[in-house]
Amino acid sequence: MRLPRSVRDADVAGKTVLVRADLNVPLEDGRVADDTRIRASLPTLELLLGRGATAVRVCSHLGRPKTEEDRAKYRMQPVAARLRELVPDERIHVLENTRFDPGETSNDERFAHELAEGCDLYVNDAFGSAHRAHASTEAVAHLLPAYAGLLLLDELEHLGRLLGEIERPFVLISGGAKVEDKLGVLRNLGGRADTVLIGGKMAEELRGENPLDFDVELPVDVVAAAEFERDAESRLCAVDEIPDGWLGLDIGPETRTRFARQLQSARTIFWNGPMGVFEWPPFAEGTKAVAEAVAANDAAFSVVGGADSVRALNELGLAERVSWVSTGGGASLELLEGKELPGVAAIPSA
Ligand code: ADP
Ligand code: MG
């Protein structure tokens, strides 16, 4: 995979640097509810400050502002306040939400010029937005000398390993609800995997008709529920014994054992998509079993992607135990589908 040139190789002393970070954090009552993404952007910002940049202008989108009311809700002020607490350096300036300008999503040259105005260098560290050709991720990269930030590079290097030479067995495990989004990755990576394990709603969809040109291992038993409710009547059953009209909302114990055994002997693992409706305790055990099996395998290079899968892993306190937790969402999926990300393509090679 082609790697863009690194901010480590940029001469930033005395320069004003425009950084596109991914500061799209969840807000609650006008405050930052989870600052993971802000923290993830710190290494690049600290590198720039440490190397003597005169000013660091940080821009990001926040939420999906559409109406005037949204504009009040998605101002960058709380994010800037949190960032200032973490890095109290006067040289950092947080620009207003890039999506307040309609030119952002249309990749507009005029808005890109506005962002670039007065800056000497551009650093893109927003991996989570790199699959979108927007003014702050694409157009602006053609107006200033462009470099990749440390987080962006870390994501490319770790995810890229799955696309290159891998140690076998390679076990790919997929689940969740967004089946359409995941089929591209399954097609591209699944053929390279030695074993493809499928849970979640994904399993129910593939059971009918498998549109893939390789075999997948589907659940043999499920936790079935009479309806899609937290406290629905539920029971364990073999897949061919699911009562009419009931839904499989988690993988069953026999499937958990089988999947865990495969994960135990893997040398490369990619997991995307929970095994069940893990938000509801009666249907959380399958996801937990898989998370534990992935975490327990210290010999494997293991990557977990997808917002909900990562949330499940975090809630179980297992994020530190896997090789790489991708924060990318859509960007990770597109990269693993084999697509070139516009925000990466716009940066010259190393
Ligand atoms: P990720 O964010 O990790 O990529 P998805 O967004 O595709 O994963 O799917 C996550 C959602 O899938 C969770 O909210 C979970 O409740 C739901 N889910 C998992 N298994 C099932 C199932 N069998 N039926 C319905 N929903 C499911
Ligand atoms: Mg999701």
Instruction: Tell me, using a 6 A CB cutoff, whether residue 78 lines ligand 1.
Output: no
Q: Which atom of ligand 1 is nearest to the CA of 272?
A: 3
Q: Which ligand is nearest to the CA of 201?
A: 1
Q: Which ligand is nearest to the CA of 173?
A: 1
Q: What is the pLDDT of residue 333?
A: 93
Whether the per-residue pLDDT at 68 is higher than 90: the answer is no
Q: Which atom of ligand 1 is nearest to the CA of 250?
A: 23
For residue 73 the two structure tokens come to 């809700």
Rounded average pLDDT over 82-95? 98
Q: How far apart are CA 95 and CA 118, in angstroms?
A: 13
Q: How far apart are CA 170 and CA 263, in angstroms?
A: 9
Q: Which residues contact 272 (CB under 8 A, 6 or more apart)?
A: 173, 174, 175, 176, 182, 185, 304, 305, 306, 309, 332, 333
pLDDT range class, residue 328, cuts 50, 70, 90: confident
For residue 147 the two structure tokens come to 């470099």
Whether the per-residue pLDDT at 57 is higher than 90: the answer is yes
| Distances from the Cα of 296 to the Cα of 41, 180, 320, angstroms | 29, 30, 11
Instruction: Tell me, using a 6 A CB cutoff, whether residue 232 lines ligand 1.
Output: no
Q: Which residues contact 21 (CB under 8 A, 6 or more apart)?
A: 37, 41, 44, 45, 58, 59, 60, 125, 126, 149
Q: What is the pLDDT of residue 144?
A: 98
Count CA atoms within 13 Å of residue 156 on its CB side.
Answer: 26
Q: Which atom of ligand 1 is nearest to the CA of 312?
A: 3
For residue 154 the two structure tokens come to 């870390």
pLDDT in tens, 5-36: 999 999 999 999 999 999 999 899 889 998 98
Instruction: Tell me, using a 6 A CB cutoff, whether residue 57 lines ligand 1.
Output: no
Pocket test for ligand 1, best of 201, 221, 304 (most atoms within 8 A of CB): 201
Instruction: Tell me, using a 6 A CB cutoff, whether residue 249 lines ligand 1.
Output: yes
Rounded average pLDDT over 231-247? 96
Query: Is the CB of residue 316 less than 8 Å from the CB of residue 288?
Result: yes
Instruction: Tell me, using a 6 A CB cutoff, whether residue 305 lines ligand 1.
Output: no
Q: What is the pLDDT of residue 205?
A: 86
Instruction: Tell me, using a 6 A CB cutoff, whether residue 149 lines ligand 1.
Output: no
pLDDT in tens, 203-218: 988 887 888 889 999 9
Q: What is the pLDDT of residue 327?
A: 84
Q: For the chain, where are the alpha helices, taking DSSP H only?
A: 36-40, 42-50, 68-73, 77-86, 109-116, 150-163, 179-190, 200-208, 253-264, 285-296, 307-315, 330-336, 342-345
Closest CA to 307 of 281, 273, 270: 273
| Distances from the Cα of 111 to the Cα of 137, 158, 169, angstroms | 11, 32, 48
Rounded average pLDDT over 110-136? 97
Q: Which atom of ligand 1 is nearest to the CA of 182?
A: 7
Q: What is the pLDDT of residue 84?
A: 97
Q: Which ligand is nearest to the CA of 310?
A: 1
Query: Is the CB of residue 235 less than 8 Å from the CB of residue 260?
Result: no
Q: What is the pTM of this model?
A: 0.91
Tell me the pLDDT of the chain averaged across its residues. Answer: 95
Whether the per-residue pLDDT at 307 is higher than 90: the answer is no
176 CA from centroid of ligand 1 (Å): 3
Query: Is the CB of residue 93 less than 8 Å from the CB of residue 304?
Result: no
Q: Look at ligand 1, atom 22, and give the residue with the nearest C-alpha.
A: 201
Q: Which ligand is nearest to the CA of 178?
A: 1
Q: What is the pLDDT of residue 337?
A: 94
309 CA from centroid of ligand 1 (Å): 8
Whether the per-residue pLDDT at 129 is higher than 90: the answer is yes
The better pLDDT of the pair 135, 67 is held by: 135
Q: Which residues contact 248 (CB under 8 A, 6 or more apart)?
A: 203, 204, 219, 222, 223, 224, 239, 242
Q: Which residues contact 145 (CB under 8 A, 6 or more apart)?
A: 10, 120, 121, 122
| 169: preceding bond cis by omega (within 30 degrees) | yes
pLDDT range class, residue 329, cuts 50, 70, 90: confident
Instruction: Tell me, using a 6 A CB cutoff, whether residue 113 lines ligand 1.
Output: no
Closest CA to 216 of 261, 273, 171, 283: 171
Q: What percent of the chain is modeled with pLDDT above 70?
A: 100
